[in-house]
Amino acid sequence: MLSIQQVQTLLAQTPSLKVSSIAINLDDALNYRIAEPLVAQHNVPPAANSAMDGYALNLEDLKRNHFQLPISQRITAGCAPLPLQKNTCARIFTGAMIPEGADTVIMQENTTMTDNGILFDPNKAYIAADNIRPKGQDITLGSSLATTGTKITPALLGLLASQGFATINVQAPLKIALLSTGNEIVAPGTPLKTGQIYNSNRYSVGSLLKQWGQVELSYLDVADTFEDTCQALKSAAQTHDLVISFGGVSVGEEDHVKDAVAALGHVEHWKVKLKPGKPLMIGRLNITPSVEPNNMSSQVACSTSKSVPILGLPGNPVSAFVTFLLFAKPLLTALTGGTFTPASPIQAPIHFAVSRPKKRPEYLRVTTTDGQLTPCNNQSSGVLSSLYACDGLAFIPEETLLHHGDSVDYYPLEVLMSRA
């Protein structure tokens, strides 16, 4: 079995898709992903400006005139100032452009209005460039704004707007098929028969995918037969960029996903050293799109074959959720041309002990009380309510004894989900 980090590295090396791009208005771009690197078109601020309401002046003039200067002009934000007259100051407001010849701004709180102009407090230490925002302090012309695959957040939208972008090229939504296996799985709203359960993975993992960004989701329910599984996988791969399956990747007689993937393509890896979520599968489906014989030669048809990645998640709700948080992001990031960065944990003390070393690394669902981590009562991979009740996941290394008060890596659930 590979380690968690090894699987993440393997997924992060997945070849990127040839995702088509579309031009979109900035108003509609939230949650899409950048299709090409964006660089700054302008300096921000475009010229040096005042960080305070006060007076723009030249320090040498101030000292030469015994800290008293007449006002020669008034400068508001958005207007072009005249060059500063020698031995004068300019009344200036926050955001207004610094006039030529001025080298500092003194805030109005350090001044007194007199009949002869403005008297500046002589006991203050004034330094050149005080209260001046230099040209390009925020953004420099030509600097990188966003790389390919970057998700457009509200903050990035503001940044792009500050550069004057009205439209941008974004990646077309990823087409993802969510395939649920199992004769016992039924959709919410359907009366349950004996032995049946509702499909929760579609909604929990599906919502994480929607948080990832712009995606087009399709849902397939598959009966527990090899033939049905093969047909569903083949159909999904024909029209999607990625297939994510739930269940069917363990060693049971009714677990057909792994064998079906092997028949249609190949299994790159199976099983990860992790609890919950050991039966994880990574593979590819090699598909030749259906074509009409009269419209395309067999040679051309062969050239259009494609290899579609598949991520096989465990069927248990907690295992599916946790493995998605750990392994979907490196895969999705790679497919969209981005660079994967693992989540950074917080060090937090535990309010429990680990008296028997664990054979596999484990992510415990925990709550935080007075800064300490307390595990949820039931850590079974089928107890979905524990995910709703917990604040985050505590990482317990394998072959490690822990005592009350020891610190472990802690991942707040909101952070993990926001990174999905």
- Lowest-pLDDT range of 136-145, 200-209, 381-390: 381-390
Fold annotation for 346-418: Beta-clip (2.40.340)
How sure is the predictor about 19, in pLDDT bands with cuts at 50, 70 and 90? confident
pLDDT in tens, 87-120: 999 999 999 999 999 999 999 999 999 999 999 9
Is the pTM higher than 0.75?
yes
DSSP conformation class of 269: E
Question: What angle separates helix 226-239 from helix 257-264, to the nearest 10 degrees?
Answer: 60
> How do the domains of the chain map onto residue ranges?
4-19+172-335, 26-30+35-44+138-169, 49-133, 346-418
Dig out the tokens for 350 from the structure.
């535990």
* pLDDT tops 60 at residue 302: no
Dig out the tokens for 323 from the structure.
């493995």
Q: Which one, of 337, 75, 32, 42, lies nearest residue 163 by Cα?
A: 42
Q: What is the mean pLDDT of residues 19-43?
A: 95
Residue spans of beta strands (DSSP E) within 104-162? 104-107, 111-114, 117-120, 132-133, 144-146
> Would you mind telling me the total number of residues written for the chain in this entry?
420
pLDDT, residue 382, reads 86
- Please check whether residue 58 is in contact with residue 101, taking contact to mean a CB–CB distance below 8 angstroms: yes
- Lowest-pLDDT range of 25-29, 181-185, 297-301, 404-408: 297-301
pLDDT in tens, 278-289: 999 999 999 876
- Give the right CATH number for 4-19+172-335 from 3.40.980.10, 3.40.190.10, 3.30.565.10, 3.30.310.80: 3.40.980.10
pLDDT, residue 251, reads 65
- Please check whether residue 247 is in contact with residue 180, taking contact to mean a CB–CB distance below 8 angstroms: yes
- Please check whether residue 58 is in contact with residue 102, taking contact to mean a CB–CB distance below 8 angstroms: yes
Q: What is the mean pLDDT of residues 194-206?
A: 94
> How does the average pLDDT of the chain come out, rounded?
92
- Please check whether residue 68 is in contact with residue 119, taking contact to mean a CB–CB distance below 8 angstroms: yes
| Helix, strand, coil abundance in the chain, percent, nearest 5 | 25, 30, 45
* pLDDT tops 70 at residue 47: yes
pLDDT, residue 290, reads 56
144 vs 140: CA distance, rounded Å: 9
Dig out the tokens for 214 from the structure.
């712009």
318 vs 418: CA distance, rounded Å: 17
**Rounded to a whole number, what is the distance in angstroms from the first to the last CA of the chain?**
24
| Superfamily grouping for domain 49-133 | Molybdopterin biosynthesis moea protein, domain 3. (2.170.190.11)
Instruction: List the helix and strand counts (H, then E) for the chain.
Output: 10, 26
pLDDT in tens, 206-262: 999 999 989 999 999 998 899 999 999 999 999 999 999 998 887 666 679 999 999
How sure is the predictor about 298, in pLDDT bands with cuts at 50, 70 and 90? very low
pLDDT, residue 417, reads 86
* pLDDT tops 70 at residue 42: yes
183 vs 199: CA distance, rounded Å: 11
* pLDDT tops 50 at residue 297: no
Q: What is the mean pLDDT of residues 17-35?
A: 94
